[in-house]
Amino acid sequence: MVIRVLIADDHSVVREGLRMFLSRDPEIAIVGEAEDGEEAVRQAMEMRPDVVLMDVLMPVMDGIAATAALRRALPETEIIALTSVLEGATVVDAIKAGAIGYLLKDTQAQELRKVIKEAASGQVHLSPKVSASLVRQVQALPPAESLTEREKDVLCLLAQGKANKEIANHLQIVEDTVKVHVRHILAKLHVQSRTQAVLCALHLGLVVLDTKNQPEKKARPQ
């Protein structure tokens, strides 16, 4: 499977650099480039990419607003925020808008290719620095409705970066059932994306996220 990627960044040199090293991977195809958020939304609606690399700070429409618009219009398209901004509020806003990942622009090329492939399969990814920033922000999240034990199991596996197929194998259920559980989890937590759900899992104490971005499930009384 070739992953179709749209690059959104207002700096042409950044777009060119991303296109150059991502195109070296036969599993990734660049289907479009946009220099502002409004153009990113327009092109995504036409191209229907699997993944959008979204700069946060852009003219006309910023990356956060564009992410929110795409999350509503194209729920199957995953969005990775790629930026130089590590301000706590910006990170949380991007995640709330629906980004499945948040990477800094100093991320190595090999790591970025890996994250794009993970995002295409629905895996959440946050860089270590971003994880540390989020840990400081989660206390501000509102309380959420109670989840069933099975939904908590699914949420914990989501927080560990598992894709639907991996969760299904781990819990010995079919993948369609996992998708149903994920929809219920998002509805109960009043969030729009898997990444937001992971933040809620942190807030509820269901998982622990360390600075190496390796969430672990807390032991539950038998």
Both 97 and 168 in one domain: the answer is no
Q: Please identify which residue in the block is written with the tokens 């295409």.
A: 120
pLDDT (tens digit, 9 = 90+) per residue, 124-155?
Answer: 777 666 666 665 555 555 555 678 889 988 98
Both 31 and 120 in one domain: the answer is yes
Both 92 and 172 in one domain: the answer is no
H helices within the chain, ranges in order? Answer: 12-22, 37-47, 63-73, 88-97, 109-120, 128-137, 149-159, 164-171, 175-189, 194-204
Both 124 and 149 in one domain: the answer is no
Burial of 98 (0-12, 13-18, 19+ CB in 10 A): buried
- Domain with 67 in it: 3-137
The mean-pLDDT minimum among 137-146, 167-176, 186-195 falls in 137-146
Look at the alpha carbons of 189, 192, 194, 195 in this order and tell me if their dihedral is positive or negative. negative
How many structural domains does the chain have? 2
Domain endpoint, select from 120, 137, 154: 137
Both 125 and 187 in one domain: the answer is no
Confidence of residue 91 (pLDDT cuts 50, 70, 90): confident
pLDDT (tens digit, 9 = 90+) per residue, 67-87?
Answer: 999 988 998 899 999 888 777
Q: Does residue 222 belong to any structural domain of this protein?
A: no
Distance CA 88, CA 133 (A): 6
Q: Which residue has the higher pLDDT, 157 or 39?
A: 39
Assess contact for 156 and 143: CB atoms under 8 A: no
The mean-pLDDT minimum among 44-48, 106-110, 116-120, 186-190 falls in 186-190
pTM over 0.85: no
